[in-house]
Chains A and B, each alone.
Chain A
Amino acid sequence: MTAAEIVFVLLGVVALASGVLVVTTRQIVRAALYLVVSFGAIAACFLVLTAELVAWVQVLIYVGAVVVLLLFGIMLTRAPIGPSSDLDSRNKPAAVTVAVAAAGVLVTVVVSGFGDAYFEVGESRAGSASVIGSGIFRYWVLPFEVLSVLLLAALVGAIVLSRTDIGPPKDGDG
């Protein structure tokens, strides 16, 4: 086991443990904070895999923006601050069954498929901002532009959904 693998396994344990806490905790605000820990550990995993730019984008967008949005949502839906007992639905046993089955199938397939695949993590520059940036603007320009249109549509959609002063269209209005 190399040093990178040991670091990766430790980070993976942190990510998994905080992920389990996200889906089992009884305090909804703590779930969002455990989500920060999980995302941070995954970002560190990206760093170990030499994917620098993805790691920093993960920190900026997930830890910075998405979790803040989720906390805003928790506040605006007047969630209780203390522990609440009604966060889990009745189909918890079925959910456990499905999750364990999914984990079993996926881990079996992955281990039997890629059991001896190996790569060196080291001096690779393939994940740096300059390489990824030139890759995006050389080979992936069209998807990038489509993505910007998608973001604009999502922005407009979120504004339309959350405004209260515009109702359903009147007759002859379109």
Chain B
Amino acid sequence: MHVVYPAVLAALLFAIGVYGVLARRNAILVLMSVELMLNAVNLNLVAFDVWLADRLGSGQILGLFVIVIAAAEVGLGLAIVLQVFRNRATIAVDSLDELAEDKQ
């Protein structure tokens, strides 16, 4: 298999995730887009590990570590989102601008 296929797929998935993070208002949808970006990175790690036939298996093991860290990140992120919802009754990220310099 050519390395280009997984690499291009990962690049496009990462771009989709970037779009989601920038364009979505709902904090949970932003978290979902972050997951898409992490998956793109994982695809790269696995593809290049298989291509280089690494003896230590670095790519695939780092991919497993990324999955674990993503799980921890989602747990903490959702706890923060729920806390924000409890305090302000909204999770629209562009209405949480108390710390912004020029408040609209």
Contacts and interface: CB of A to CB of B under 8 A. Distances in A.
B23 A77 contact: no
A136 interface: yes
A135 interface: yes
Contacts of B72: 150-151, 154-155
A51 B3 contact: no
B3 A87 contact: no
Contacts, number: 249
Main secondary structure of the interface of B (DSSP, over half): helix
A32 B28 CA distance: 9
A54 B63 contact: yes
Nearest to A65: B71
B25 A87 contact: yes
Candidate in B6, B53, B73 with the most chain A CB atoms within 10 angstroms: B6
A102 B71 contact: no
A142 to B, nearest CB: 12
Contact of B39 (A42, A86, A96): A42
Given A22-B33, A162-B79, 12 more contacts: A8-B9, A22-B29, A23-B16, A32-B32, A73-B28, A77-B91, A89-B92, A106-B14, A114-B3, A124-B50, A135-B57, A161-B83
